Amino acid sequence: MASRYTQRRRDAGRRQALKRFERQSRLNRMASPGQYNFVLVLDHLKPRFNIGKIFRSAEAFGAEAVHLIGIDFFDPAPAMGSYKWVPAKFYETFDESYEDLCHRQYCIFMLEPGSPNLLTNTTLPDRCAFVFGHEEFGFSFEPAEYQRLSKISVPQLGKVQSLNVSVAASLVMYEYIRQHMDKNNQIDSPP
């Protein structure tokens, strides 16, 4: 059981994070899509650290947007200001995000450790969405119910077969960019 002092510190930290989130959410409404047609879908991730870090990488790699499923707020401090530059779309359920992506003809990949379909052996089309589940509980939906959902994994050599979700997201974004560089190894210029 946490002491009252510890609980007060946690509550104060949560209030500060909420204030940062509200302030930066106003700026996020003016964010423009990045230069690449890939979307990150974060399904019920923990709101403390990883979401902000994913926004930071999404901005660095030119993501179109980040979809947040079942996440009402997160601490944007780890994003180092990137939250205001990458459009965020909030959804209550995965169905809503999935329908939006299907309507816009995105290929949708879910990251699942142990999948035999490796990211590095997969040709990623121009319009991609990458779905990441909760670090502990996995996905909030039954993958078999979504026909346009393909499973891929990041190749790993260790026994754990698990990466931190922000690290996995960064690797996926890097691979997408690597595949979409022009023949001179230059990142495609913005339209």
What pLDDT, in 10s, does the model give residues 159-174? 776 789 999 999 999 9
Q: How confident is the model at residue 189 (pLDDT cuts 50, 70, 90)?
A: low
pTM given for the model: 0.88
DSSP state letter for 139: -
Backbone angles phi, psi at 167, to 5 degrees: -70, -45
Give the residue from 113, 100, 107, 87 showing the smallest Cα distance to 171.
113
Q: Which domains does the chain have, with CATH numbers?
A: 4-179 (3.40.1280.10)
**Both structure tokens of 2:** 């946490």
Give the rounded distance of the alpha carbon of 112 from its chain centre. 14
